[in-house]
């Protein structure tokens, strides 16, 4: 009897995870699509909108939580590459469901020179197919989008590796911005 309950529980969890993954992929913007709009507060509570970045490349990266090992590594790598990224005509914005005050502490701790956007309700992450909503808790999935100067999605990086993402984006920017 316990064996069958365990099998049913595992099957139920697998079905739930499959539905979550399928829903996220249905919202995922494709290359060539207009980038979904956003208007979110940054770490200084300043509203930031996608229109602000028209005319330049935008690296929009979604990450699960401030000040966790993978998220800290990814942010620090973008920080360290900012001169090169800016020289290629691009800006960087990180997005998670954390608050502006959490973002402010994270930005101060790691000396981050780019905007961290507070998507508290996960609406923008959902528009980008990057929200993991488990009902009682939400996280942004670790995905990155390269948006061209006209506001179109040029490249999509799913389930990125924090140690490689910055290098991949920078290499692609070099090719695309040339």
**Number of domains the chain is built from:** 1
Q: Which residues pair with 147 in a beta bridge?
A: 58, 153
CA distance 148 to 32: 9
pTM (two decimals)? 0.86
pLDDT of 178: 78
* Encoded tokens for 27: 């919202």
The CA distances from residue 177 to 34, 65, 171, in Å, are 18, 30, 10
Comparing CA positions, the residue from 158, 149, 178 lying closest to residue 50 is: 149
User: Please, what is the Cα angle at 32 between 57 and 28, to 5 degrees?
Assistant: 95
DSSP state at residue 36:
P
CATH number for the domain including 111?
Answer: 3.40.30.10
pLDDT reported for residue 5: 62
Q: Is 65 exposed, middle or buried (0-12, 13-18, 19+ CB in 10 A)?
A: middle
The sign of the CA dihedral 11, 96, 64, 82 is positive
- The whole-number pLDDT of residue 25 equals 52
User: Would you please indicate which residues are annotated as catalytic (active-site) residues?
Assistant: 71
How confident is the chain (178 residues) per 10-residue block, as mean pLDDT?
A: 61 50 66 96 97 96 96 97 97 97 98 98 96 92 98 97 97 92
pLDDT of residue 6: 61
Can you give the residue range of the structural domain that contains 39? 2-177
């Amino acid at each position: 009897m316990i064996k069958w309950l365990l099998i049913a529980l595992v099957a139920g969890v697998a079905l739930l995870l499959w539905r979550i993954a399928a829903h996220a992929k249905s919202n995922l913007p494709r290359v060539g699509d207009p980038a979904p709009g956003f208007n979110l507060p940054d770490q200084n509570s300043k509203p930031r909108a996608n229109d602000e970045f028209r005319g330049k490349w935008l690296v929009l990266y979604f990450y699960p939580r401030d000040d966790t090992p993978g998220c800290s590594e990814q942010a620090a790598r973008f920080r360290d590459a900012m001169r090169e990224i800016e020289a290629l005509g691009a800006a960087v914005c990180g997005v998670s469901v954390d608050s502006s005050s959490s973002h402010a502490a994270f930005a101060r701790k790691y000396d981050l020179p780019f905007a961290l956007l507070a998507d508290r309700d996960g609406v923008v992450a959902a528009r980008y197919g990057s929200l993991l909503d488990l009902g009682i808790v939400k996280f942004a999935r670790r995905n990155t989008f390269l948006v061209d100067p006209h506001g179109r999605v040029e490249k999509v990086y799913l389930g990125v590796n924090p140690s490689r993402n910055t290098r991949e984006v920078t290499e692609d920017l070099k090719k695309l911005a040339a």
